[in-house]
Each structure stands twice: as C-alpha cells, then as structure tokens.
Structure 1
Amino acid sequence: MRCQHEMPFGASLHAGGATFRLWAPAARSAELSFAPNAAGRAIAHPAEADAEGWWECTLAEAAAGSVYQWRIDGQLLVPDPASRQNPEGPHGPSAVVDPRQFEWDAGWSGRPWNEVVLYELHVGAFTPEGTFRAAEARLRELADIGITAIELMPVSNFGGRFGWGYDGVLPFAPHDAYGAPDDLKHLVQAAHRLGMMVFLDVVYNHFGPDGNYLHAYAPGFFSQTHSSPWGAAINFDGPDNRPVRDFFIHNALYWLQEYRFDGLRLDAVHAIRDSSTPHILEELSATVRKATHGRHVHLVLENEDNDWRLLARSEPPGRYDAQWNDDFHHALHVALTGETQSYYHDYGVDPLDLLGRAFTHGMVFEGSQRKPGGARKHVHAAPAQDLTTLVNFAHNHDQVGNRARGERLSQLVPPEAAQLPTLLALLTPAIPMLFLGEESGAKAPFLYFADWEGKLREAVRAGRKREFGHDHAEDLPDPCSAATFAACRPDAAQAHSEAGRAWRDNVRAAVEARRSCITPRQAQLLTGKHSVQRIGEHGLAVQWRYADGQMLSLELNLGAAPIAVPPQHLGPVEANCVFSHRWPASQPPGQWPPFAARWLLGAEITQ
C-alpha cells in the first residue's frame, strides 16, 4: 500500500515532472531556484502568479531528490513552507520527496480510544543517537510493558540541532537531525507491527522565530487583531484566512494519511484565536473525521481554558476525543509537594479535595484565563466530565521542563512515595500517559533546551533567569547548551539496574491490571455518578461507578503516617483487589499504610 496526501501547495510529482506552488501574495516576483540534486548547480526558473497570489512553476526534469528554493523579488531565497524535507534545516533548500516510494503494510486500522496507554517521548532525547531509527529499535521494550500508543513531541523542522520542537517553522518536513521522511514512516510502521499506535504533537498556534520567512511574502498568515504568547498569532479569521486555514488542515491530513499516524495532539489550542464560524478547531476535526473514516484516528487537545464542550467520546465530526488534564496533575503535585507558585497557586487551598474532584469529575476548573504569573484570573468549577475524554499523567514535557532544573515529581517527594503518582495516573478510568523514562523511574531531568544563536540565544538565557527569579544566578542550566540537551536522556544503566527493573515490573503489573479490569469496562462508565470522601488528613476514598452496578474503588493514603479509617458510609462492597501498592497482605483492617494505594472492583451493595 502506498500513500500520498494531495495538497494545493508545495511540490507535487506527476508523470510530467513536478509542479511547485507557493502562496506569496506580497511578492512582486517569484522564481524557483532548482537543482537536479544536492550537488548540482541551481538554475532560476520563472513562476507565474494568479490573482490570489499563488505562484506556480512546472519542471519536467524534477524528480525525487531534486532540491529547490523560492527566490522572492529577485533577492530573498526561502524554503518551501510546505516542504516535505529540508535536509539542511529551514535556512537551506527544500528537497522533492516521492511519498509513494514507501510501501505500507495493509490492514492496520489502529486501536479504539479506550485501549490507549500513552507514552510521550522526545525523539532526540529518547536514545543516545536521537534519531527515528534508534527510537524504532526501542519500541518493543515499550510494547512489552503494555504501552499501546507512543506520542512524539513535535518533529517539524526547526532551526538548530536540538530543541523541544514547539518552535517549528516547516510543519510538513521532519526535523533533519532525526532522519529522513522514510525513517519516520519506518518508525510508524514498526510500531504498528507491534500493535502500537503513534500520535504526533502538532503546533497550530504560532511559528518559531528562527527560519520563519512567511512575513516577507505571505503576511496574511499572521493575525492583525490577535496575539500569541510565543510570537505572531495565526490568521484564522481575518482577510486572506482561507489559504491559512487550508495550510493547517492539510497539515493534519498529511500526517494522518501520508505518514499513517493514528492521532494528533494539538498544542495549546487556548492560544488559537478564531472568531469566525466554523471555528478552525471544528473545521479541522470535521475534515479529519471524514477523510479518515474507517480508521481509529484520535484527536487530542491541550487546552488551558478547559472547554469541555470540544470533547466527545464517540468521535463526532467537529469534536475531539480528549484533552490533557492539567488539573489532575496540578492537584496531585500540590497535594504531594505543597508547592503553590505560578500555576500551582489555584490548587493551594485543600489540594487533596481538588485531587478528589479530579478523580471523580475530571476537570477541576473551567474556562478561565491566567494572569502573567500563572494563577487564574477567575476560578470556575467545571461540570462533571466523561472521564474517558481526559488524559491523566504525573509527568509530561511541560510539567517537568517548566521547572528551573527539570526535576520529575518522583524526585520531589519522599522515596516511599516516588512511584505513587505514576500508578495513580495509570489506574483511573481516564486515559493514562507516561513520560520519557517514567516506565523505569528515570532520575534524569527534562530541561528546556533550544539550539539558538546570537541575540535569540541571549534572550532565551535571560528569559529563563527572569522566569525563575534567578536574575543573577550562574548555576541555572544553559538552555542553549548541548550538555543541557544531553543531560535529558534517561540513563540506560539506571533503567537496567535492580531498582529500575523493579520499578518497571510494577508499572507493567499496573498496566496489565488496567488492561484486564478497567479498559473493558469503559463503555459502561457513568458520568456524574462517582463519589469521593476525605479519610483523615491525607487519605481519599474514591468510587467510580458503572452502568451494570459494578464499582471500582480507590483507597489512597498520601501521607507519611498510617491512617485510622472510620466505617465507610456508602455500605460494603463485595470486591476483589485489582492492584495494590505498599499495601501488605497482613495490613490490619481499619488502617491504611503510609504512601499506599489499593484498587478494588466489585458489586456495590446499596442499603
């Protein structure tokens, strides 16, 4: 099976060579600087424009491996913004790619959403080599743990050798340091052969600052009325918005069809501004659902505004399968650490109660913007959510990397409590996600890193010091240092140590408990019928209810001392233990051990 997504822009191969199209309405002239290969001499070919600013050039000699750039107004050489490959980075020439050269296996249609156990990874930090091919070699380790889907942090081409990927400038071209397009396809296919899905993190709220030439010839890409925290906002509702909307919708379709990704995670959609109808998020979802009908393709959001109306379990057009549940993480983090700075401020009063609400209602706060320091301007309670539309996690790139020194939550709590956050994320009805190295209890930090130079590098260094209140500190990790990037790779020796193996075995057992006792029951999960009680100062008793009268319960002690447990008010439950952590079989009734949890499943007895 061979797959190619047809696009109205970029380079398109056909029987007569290739046609190159660029939307450049501000350009007075445009030429295609073309060479038959990377070693050849480039020759300029004139392009013709239509009334809407589309420039087009067809060359019979073009083939896979040809390289090209657009010359704007006889001076500025720029890459193709829809380039499928830019082997020398965003400042170099684009390469013509033949997507149909890659042979896909037939028959894979993905996995249903309820089976998802996510694992977020950064391609560059996942292995010492930092490539797609090296990542592929480690997939079986994850499959053996029970991971059913990996999620790649953004891989779109960006300036420099290393970076988080959220400042990409060529959204259709895999980052050259990770490998060629076929290397990424090979990774996806290898995951499918192991029964694993592959999700991709995509950024549709801004372009990065290094290698973005669009302002020079297509200023219509950028909004004149909206702003973004990371640069010029994308124009989804102003004049000339149609080519812009098509650019990003086609990008989603491109990754899902040409690369056979099984899902997308849309970064920071609260920063996508669109006052038109339909909203770009609605149009994108509806288009994707129609184009991928018959496959399990999943769409996930990051949304600080917690707009639950965008979510739906049944994948209807215009809606999304789930969003990352920051509320769960933040409440858990504050309950365990007591930290209340920045965006943890909203969770500082009764964090255990807020964690209980996250367990039973999903979101805690809904639809409120944040102040510059991170706290919300107004705190509104969110209604009870379908828990299967939320992704719970104890770690992710943001929550670790936004710290000055990149510590994981497992390192900020007593050693006895280190694995408890991971297990709590794995064993709720929400969809769980692990982060790079978490499966083995990695102690390596995950820091912010970006290979920028000159004024941009100095601005980032100064900004990190301001952000963390260390204006004069010299000991903060340098975000633009290769050593900082290298420090973020989990230590293989630690992963294969006795402690690493024991941690991994416990994670594997928790994932198996989920697979056998939680995943098959997702369709029967009720909404708005779950309950939670405080038990002492540090305990929670949680009850999740199902339509057939079964109940999954959690008994949790987040404190360092045992808890004396009063008689339960909801009546007894005839239940079997699904999973326990630090809960001895000899534990006396009426007492919960410190930093321990136990999950029970059985019929609820009403009185």
Structure 2
Amino acid sequence: MRRAHTMAFGSEMVKDGARFALWAPTAKDVTLVVDGTDHVIPEVGDGWRRLTLPGVHAGARYGYRIDGDLVVPDPASRFQPDDVSGLSEVIDARAYGWSDHEWAGRPWEETVLYELHVGTATPEGTYAALEGKLEDLRDLGITAIELLPLADFKGTRNWGYDGVLPFAPDAAYGRPDDLKHLIDKAHSLGLMVFLDAVYNHFGPAGNYLNAYAKTFFTERHQTPWGAGINFDGETSGRVVRDFFIENSLYWLEEYRFDGIRFDAVHAILDDSDKHFIGELAETIRARLPGRHIHLVLENEANQARWLERGPDGKALQHDAQWADDLHHCWHVLLTGEDAGYYASFADKPVDHLARCLSEGFAYQGEPFPSLDNHPRGESSGHLPPSAFVTFLQNHDQVGNRALGERLNALSDPAKLALARAGLLLSPQIPMLWMGEEWSATAPFLFFVDFAPDAELNKAVREGRRREFKSFAAFADDTSVIPDPTEAKTFADSRIDWSERERAPHRAVLADTRNLLQIRHQTVVPLTKTHYLGSQATLPRKDAVDCTWTYEGGWLRFVANFGDTALPVLRAGGQVVWCNGADCDPANDTFELPSWTGLFLTGVNR
C-alpha cells in the first residue's frame, strides 16, 4: 500500500512532474530554484505562489530565491539532505510500500509508553538501528515508543526541540523511508509509535520565515523564545493554523504515527474564540475516524478542559496530559530534593501524591508557591486515570539537570522499586524513559550542534552554566557542567544495552518485565471497563491508601513511606503484587515494612 498526505504547502509529485507551493506574503520577489535553474513562480493571491513543473523527478533539489539573493529551503520541506540551510529534496511520498494493511492501532488503555531519543537510544543513533531493539521492547511489555522531535534542526546533535522545518525528519537519523520502515516494523510487532511535536516555537538557527512571511509571528504574544507564533492574526492566522494542523495530519497519514505528544501547549498563545489546540484535536478526530489515534499534551497550566470525555468514556479532544505533579511527588519522596518547583511539593509530598493518584492534579486552582502563589490548575477529579501519562523520569526531568543524572543515581534502589511498582501498576498510562527499565547508568545531557556559528555555540554554553550558577553545588565552579556543544557530551548520553545482562541491572529489568506482565494481565482489563471513581486516604502522614473503582472491579494501592511498619487490613480482594512483607493470600492483615507496598484487586460488592 502507498500513502501520501496531500496539502497546500510544500512540494509533491504529480503526473509527469512536481507541484511547488510557498506562502510568502511579505516577500517582494520570489523565484523557484530547481537543480540550479531559476523559474518564475507566479502569485495566485493571499500571499501564495504556486507552480507545477513537468519533468521534475524525486530527488531533485530545490529552494526559493527571496528578493534577489537569499535562497531558502521550503518551510514545508519533506527532507533536507544537507541540513536546515541547504536545498530541499523533492520526495515521492508514495514510493514506500507499506505492509501494515490491517493495522488500526491499539486502544489507549493498553498503552505503555517508552520515550526515547533516536540519536542516543543506540550506538548508531539511526532509525535502522532502533529497529533492532523493537522486539526486546515488545517482549518487555512496552506497547508504544515515543520519539523525541524529529523536525529538522541545525547540525547533527540536538534533543529535537530546536527544529525549524517541521515536515522534514532530520537526516542525522536516516532518510524518510527509513523512518517509515521503522514504523512499519513496529506495527508488525504490535507496537504503536508516537511523535513529539513542537508547535510553540522554532529553533534559533535555520528559520528563514521572517525573510518572506514576517506575519507568521506576532509581537502581540511574547514567549520564552521571543515573538509568538501568530495563531490568531486577522490576515495570517488561518494559514499559520493550517500549517501546523497539516503537519499533524502529515505525520499521522503519510508516516502512520499512532499518536502525537504536543510540547508545552501552555506556550501556544491564542486569543481566538476556539484555541488552536482545540481545533487541532477536533480536526484530527474528524479526519481519521477509523484508527486509534492518541493525542497527548504537555501543559504546565493543568487545564482539565482539554481532557474531557464523552458519554462513551472516549476522549473528546485529547486523550491525556503528562502528569508532572505526580512525577514531582515521587521525586521529592525518592530524593528529598526541594529546590525549584519541587518546593511546591516538598511541604507534604504524601498528601500531594494521594491527590495525584486519585484525582490527577495536585494543584487544581490552589495557589502554587513556585508561581508566586498564583492559582494553578483546574478540577480534575472527574477524569479517569487514563487521562494522565505518568512517569518517574523523562527527557526533561533527567536532561535538565546540570549533570543529567538518572533517578537511579539519586535514590535508594529499594525505594525506587516501590515507585516503579506504583508507576507500572497504577491505572494511569505509564511511561518509561529509555534505559529506565534496567536502571541505565548513562546520563542524558543537554547537547546541541550549532557549528560553525561560534557565537551561538558560545551563548548556549555560557547560558547553560549561568543557569546553574545559583545552585550551591556549582556556585564556585560551573566548569564541571558538560559543554553542550561538544560531541563528547552527546556520546556520553548514549545508553549501553549490554548493561542489561549484568548485575544489578539484570534484576531491575526482570522486575520491570514482571510488573508489566501483571499490568497487562490484571490492570489493563480493569481499565477497559467504565471508570466509577476513586478514593485516597492517609492511614498515617507517611502512608497512602488509594482505591480506583471500575465497573469491572477495583484496584487498591497501599504504600508505606515511613520508618516504621504499617499494618494493613486486606478488606477483601486478591494480592497481585507485594514487596517486603508476608503477603500470604490467606492473611487478612499485612505488615508493610518501611518503603514497601502492595496492590490488590477485587470485584465490586
């Protein structure tokens, strides 16, 4: 089967040639350059220029000459073989023959996410090399891999959040057909593939939109990266909105991704009657009704409004949001850290954890200390647990540390074992960060490659060290912070898969596999039934007891974070997981030692 996404933007193959389209409302003169030859590209109204050229074949290189001298790549380029400032390549989207004819995705409740960075997930850092790890992940119990952003970025090393050409998967990892083959292979193994997409800003190098489409941005909205993207402009907003909507549809249709995680939507500033992220979700749902398509938000504002369910329990717009609050609770409990935003959870971490487990957000409109006590969040207790993606680690929480330490380098293994069970057996949608399943030792460091722009490299290097100057550990010497512009920083972030075969990593991997087996056998069938509600209590100030109830039964989690044993009354049900205690099925009471817990399930009375 051959697939292509047709859109108004970019280039695409047509009969006997190729069609080119560029929106350049603020350019005076535009010429299409194809394989070294200039062609007049006529205006067709509203800032659009279009031309169909016969005889153009896949592989042709092209760009646009703006106002005489500057030649820029296509902002909707499907591929950039020579990086962000080189010419774009005409791609025949239908050249790849898909084999996943019967694939329609998997239900959201079955999702176990595995977040990864293609460049550091394997020694080779390619799509092809990642294919070789898919069976291991499938056998572990993973059901979906989530790729950090692929949009073409400057250089060969980047997390992906500095992308400037949203339709072009970066050439550092392989060609477009290599990415399609990876997704095709994943589907053959029953694995979904998600993509992280960034619609709140463009990277600092290689973005030429201001040269011919200044109204793509607006000074009315200011973001951490400068002028905001103009989603609500009177004359430009429709084209800008369509650019990103088509981008999502492109990844979902042409590449067969099963879901998208939208980065930092709180930074997408839009005063329209219908916010962009609402229109985006509604359009995707309407266009792809026959597949399981999953849409996930990162949203520091904790706005439950985007996660509402219909009468059938299905998401009306977005399936879930990253549950940062829940992560922060676990992190404080595991490490004792209370700097930065952790301060807002360090006062009563067990109380906050109980609310997160049972209701989703810890802050639901209350003053948030880390925001000068401004209210944060909306009521979320009515939402099912599946409206929240939970994690103990992710690229941000590891990589934004000065030394990129993983949680296993910061916490006691026994405590981490309890948190791992709490993550993988609770009914929210769990996510692991690459290598977490065996407690990988490699850090995940911040890295970029803006060479030969020495000034930009210097600004990033100095900015990184300045960021941590206020931390006591680096107040006197920031030189220990790895230089993000050096190739070694990138290389040091690659995970070592051979660790899985050695102690203590082998035992952690076995534990993860066992927990995921329990999840798929016991927890997932329960969460596929109608959610009825939850209740969390604190048997002591250092312990939590949470029960989630579904039409198919209930699930209960009890955890003791204190120094003394916690007596627990079974109150019916069957123990499905327990650590550190005598969990004899015949017992009606249990004694949970310090930092241990248990999960029970039962039928409704």
TM-score range, shorter-chain basis? over 0.9
Distance 1:369 1:2, change over 3 A: farther
- Residues 377-416 of structure 1 show CA distances to partners (whole Å, capped at 9, x for unaligned) of 3356734132111101101001111111111222211232
Aligned twin of 1:294:
290
Task: Provide the C-alpha distance between the structure 1 equivalents of 2:196 and 2:429, rounded to a whole number of angstroms.
Answer: 17
Q: Which has the higher mean CA deviation after the structures are superposed, 439-448 or 179-188?
A: 439-448
1:422 touches 1:434 (CA, 8 Å); kept in 2?
no
SS in 2 for 1:498: coil
Decide whether the 8 Å contact of 1:284 with 1:318 is kept in 2. Answer: no
Partner of 2:501: 496
Query: Of residues 227, 238, 244 in structure 2, which corresponds to 1:232?
Result: 227
Closer/same/farther in 2, CA of residues 390 and 375 from structure 1, 3 Å limit: farther
TM-score after normalising by structure 2: 0.94
The offset of 1:369, in angstroms, is 9.7
User: Which stretch shows the higher mean deviation, 584-593 or 352-361?
Assistant: 584-593
Conserved 8 A contact 1:311-1:320? yes
Which residue in 2 is equivalent to 1:283? 279
Moved more, 194-203 or 515-524: 515-524
Instruction: Give secondary structure in 2 for the equivalent of 1:124.
Output: helix
Q: Trace 1:172-183 onto structure 2 (pairs within 5 A).
A: 172-183=167-178
Q: Which moved more, 1:132-141 or 1:405-414?
A: 405-414
Equivalent in the alignment of 1:540? 544
Structure 1 residues 376 and 261, CA gap change in structure 2 (3 angstroms): farther
Distance 1:501 1:44, change over 3 A: same
Trace 1:448-459 onto structure 2 (pairs within 5 A): 448-453=446-451, 454-459=454-459
TM alignment of 1:125-144, pairs within 5 A: 125-144=120-139
How far apart are the structure 2 equivalents of 1:89 and 1:313?
Answer: 42
Amino acid at match of 1:185: K
Structure 1 distance, partners of 2:443, 2:371, is 22
Cα deviation, 1:30-81, whole Å, max 9, x if unaligned, reads: 111111xxxxxx1111111123111222221211100011110111110001
1:381–1:80 Cα change, 3 Å:
closer
The alpha carbon displacement at 1:496 in A equals 2.0
Aligned to 1:553: 556
CA displacement, residues 538-595 of structure 1 (integer Å, 9 cap, x when unaligned):
32222112235x3211121234x34242x65xxx522211122344557995521222
Name the amino acid aligned to 1:103: G
Q: Shift of residue 318 of structure 1? A: 5.9
Letter paired with 1:522: T
In structure 2, how many angstroms separate the alpha carbons of the residues matched to 1:448 and 1:416? Answer: 29
Q: Contact between 1:345 and 1:375, CA under 8 Å: does it hold in 2?
A: no
Answer yes or no: is the 8 Å Cα contact 2:30–2:41 preserved in 1. Answer: yes
2:300 corresponds in structure 1 to 304
State how far apart, in whole Å, the 1-side matches of 2:286 and 2:378 are.
Answer: 34
Stretch deviating more after TM superposition (214-223 or 593-602): 593-602
Change (3 A) 1:271 1:380: closer
Partner of 1:150: 145
> 2:263: which partner in 1?
267
Give the AA of the match of 1:160. Answer: G
Counterpart amino acid of residue 497 in structure 2: A
CA distance in 1, matches of 2:365, 2:241: 25
Give the Å deviation of 1:224: 2.6
Instruction: Find the aligned partners of 1:316 and 1:523 in 2 and give their Cα distance.
Output: 11
Q: Which moved more, 1:480-489 or 1:115-124?
A: 480-489
The secondary structure found in structure 2 opposite 1:275 is coil
| Aligned-pair CA distance for 1:124 | 0.3
Matching residue's letter, 2:256: R
Give distance in 1, aligned partners of 2:241 and 2:365.
25
DSSP-derived class of the 1:50 partner: strand
Say whether 1:202 aligns with 2:197: yes
**Secondary structure of 1:419's aligned partner:** helix
1: distance between equivalents of 2:296 and 2:26? 35
Structure 2, gaps ≥5 residues long? none
Cα offset, 1:473, TM superposition = 1.6
Per-residue CA deviations over 1:508-556 (Å, capped at 9, x if unaligned) read: 11111111111111143535x32222234532222112235x3211121
Q: Which runs of 5 or more structure 1 residues have no equivalent in the other structure?
A: 36-41
> Which residue identity lines up with residue 119 of structure 2 in the other structure?
G
* Closer/same/farther in 2, CA of residues 306 and 380 from structure 1, 3 Å limit: closer
Letter in 2 for 1:533: T
Would you say the 8 A contact 1:312–1:322 is kept in 2?
no
**Cα deviation, residue 310, structure 1:** 0.4
In the TM superposition, what are the counterparts of 1:43-62 in structure 2 within 5 Å? Answer: 43-62=37-56
Distance between the aligned counterparts of 2:527 and 2:416, measured in 1?
Answer: 28
Structure 1 counterpart of 2:33, one-letter code: S
Contact 1:364/1:382, CA 8 A, preserved across alignment: no
Matching residue of 1:8: 8
Q: 1:517 to 1:112 in 2, by over 3 A?
A: same
Distance 1:492 1:590, change over 3 A: closer
Task: Tell me the residue number matched to 1:409.
Answer: 407
Letter in 2 for 1:14: V
What letter corresponds to residue 456 of structure 1 in structure 2?
A: L
Tell me, what secondary structure is at the counterpart of 1:130?
A: coil
Aligned-residue CA RMSD (Å):
2.1
2:565 aligns with 563
Q: Are residues 1:382 and 2:379 paired?
A: yes
Deviation at 1:302, TM superposition (A): 0.5
Q: In structure 2, what residue type is equivalent to 1:43?
A: T
Q: List per-residue Cα deviations over 1:353-382 (Å, max 9, x = no partner).
A: 1001111111111468989x7666335673
Deviation track 1:330-363 (CA, whole Å, cap 9, x = no partner) reads 0111122221111112112111110011111111
Matched residue, 1:38: none
- Sort the Cα spacing of 1:93 and 1:367 in 2 relative to 1 into closer, same or farther, 3 A: farther
Cα distance change of structure 1 residues 502 and 85 upon mapping to structure 2, 3 Å threshold: same
The one of 464, 489, 509 equivalent to 1:484 is: 489
Secondary structure in 2 matching 1:110: coil
Please, which moves more after superposition, 307-316 or 137-146? Answer: 307-316
Give 2:479's match in structure 1, choosing from 461, 474, 482. 474
Q: CA deviation at 1:436?
A: 0.8
Q: 1:376 to 1:75 in 2, by over 3 A?
A: farther
Q: Match for 2:565: what amino acid?
A: I
CA contact (8 A) 1:554 1:599 kept: yes
In structure 1, what is the Cα distance between the partners aligned to 2:51 and 2:213?
18
1:433 is paired with a residue whose SS is strand
Kindly indicate whether the alpha-carbon contact (under 8 Å) linking 2:106 and 2:292 is maintained by their aligned counterparts in 1.
yes
Residues 286 and 317, structure 1, Cα contact 8 Å, conserved in 2: no
Worse overlay, 450-459 or 324-333? 450-459
* CA distances 1:142-192 after superposition (whole Å, capped 9, x unpaired): 000110000000011000111100110000001010000000000000000
SS at match of 2:572: strand
Question: Structure 1: which amino acid aligns with 2:542?
Answer: H
| Mapped partners of 1:131, 1:80: distance in 2 | 24
CA displacement, residues 277-305 of structure 1 (integer Å, 9 cap, x when unaligned)? 22111111111111111110111100001
Q: Distance in 2 between matches of 1:444 and 1:508?
A: 21
Shift of 1:421: 2.4
Distance 1:369 1:557, change over 3 A: closer
Mapped contact 2:303–2:378 kept (Cα < 8 A): no
